[in-house]
Amino acid sequence: MDKHSHMPSMNTHKALPSVPEVLIGSGGAAALFDAAVESAQAQIDDANRRFTRAGVALADGRSKAWLERADSPFLDEIDAVARAAGRPGAWLLNCSYEWGCTSAVTPDPAGQGMRLLRTLDWPFHGLGRALMGARMTGAVGDWFNITWPGFAGVLTANCPGRFAVAFNQTPMFARRLGPIAFPMPLDWVLNRVAMGKRRALPPAHLLRQVCDEAGDYTEAKQRICETPLAAPCFVTLAGVEPGEGCVIERHETGAIVHEAPSAITNHWLTEGLTGHARTRDTHDRLGRMQDVMEQASDLDWVTAPILNSHTRLAAEMNPATGKSLVQGYEKDGAVSSATPFA
């Protein structure tokens, strides 16, 4: 059996805690770190176990240098997290984008605008338990960030009265020398070298800017489509009016838009675009989401293969009502209850 497609148990035999809610305001990543110091340190511990302390220290320094060259607007926030952590890891974890995801945007079955369905898969242990719902404040108002302590960017967020957004990873760019394909590990290294030379924003930092600053769905869509990026990504966007929704396939300097209803996992929807698959079940997850997304409710759609041993969060978000439903997972199943936020 494919380990990534393993069906976790649902942990229904015991009561589970709620996903914690934290009031961050304009405090950013440093305030997120302070709200859950032990969880943040545990993420660094897991990185040290996976990559060794020397490996984390090396990658941390390179991540910091790259973000400084890219002129990220969140350098001060991440620097504050790094100083609070007191050891290498914060810069690396803020540049980690090796995950799988399943997302969809579809009309709300109750007729209340649009909604965004989302799972995020990541092999790091402890992320499901460390999950938090953070009340943030930006230039145009308050918004809700589904995130982790010390993370400056945005992967999943609901901005009530404006839009909801989620970020998925694309396939890894695959190089060829004539008829010969490069092996995946070599492509990974070459892609990292190429990304390190770019000066554009990481996708998660663009989405943070959009949540802070974009006044409505139209502005968010334009900025996500047009802002140069350091790496390709898939973005799912839901607005508040009927029909306001899309999946955006982003290249570093261009975009392809698929209007709602639409769904995305971790392969290109556009014919002819390929790459190294991030997971083995991306097509199965997409097919399942397309089958259930129109009538899905209360996270009843979070079943295999959408749910797997790498799933760390599931969420439903409706920006028209401002409501979100969030649940955390670890390898063996749910570690929090399905927690409503409004």
Q: At residue 214, what is the residue type? A: A
Q: What is the CATH number of the domain that holds 16?
A: 3.60.60.10
pLDDT digits (tens, 9 = 90+) for 285-327: 999 999 999 999 999 999 999 999 999 999 999 999 999 999 9
The answer to pTM > 0.95 is no
Going from the C-alpha of 150 to that of each of 25, 37, 69, 220, the distances in angstroms are 14, 9, 21, 24
Relative to beta strand 132-138, strand 21-25 is parallel
Number of CB atoms found within 10 A of residue 185's CB: 9
d(CA 248, CA 251): 10
In a domain, 232, yes or no: yes
In a domain, 238, yes or no: yes
In a domain, 8, yes or no: yes
Task: State the average pLDDT over residues 141-162.
Answer: 97
* Per-residue model confidence (pLDDT) at position 184: 56
In a domain, 73, yes or no: no
Interhelix angle 217-226/203-213, rounded to 10 degrees, is 150
In a domain, 152, yes or no: yes
Q: At residue 108, what is the residue type? A: D
In a domain, 54, yes or no: no
Do 113 and 179 form a contact (C-beta atoms < 8 A)?
no
In a domain, 247, yes or no: yes
Asked if pLDDT for residue 181 goes beyond 80, the answer is no
- Which distant-in-sequence residues (6+ apart) come within 8 Å of 157 by Cβ? 143, 144, 145, 146, 164, 165, 166, 207, 211, 317
Residue range(s) defining the domain that contains residue 149: 3-29+98-341
In a domain, 262, yes or no: yes
Q: How many residues does the chain have?
A: 342
Do 311 and 10 form a contact (C-beta atoms < 8 A)?
no
* Per-residue model confidence (pLDDT) at position 198: 66
Q: How many domains does the chain have?
A: 1
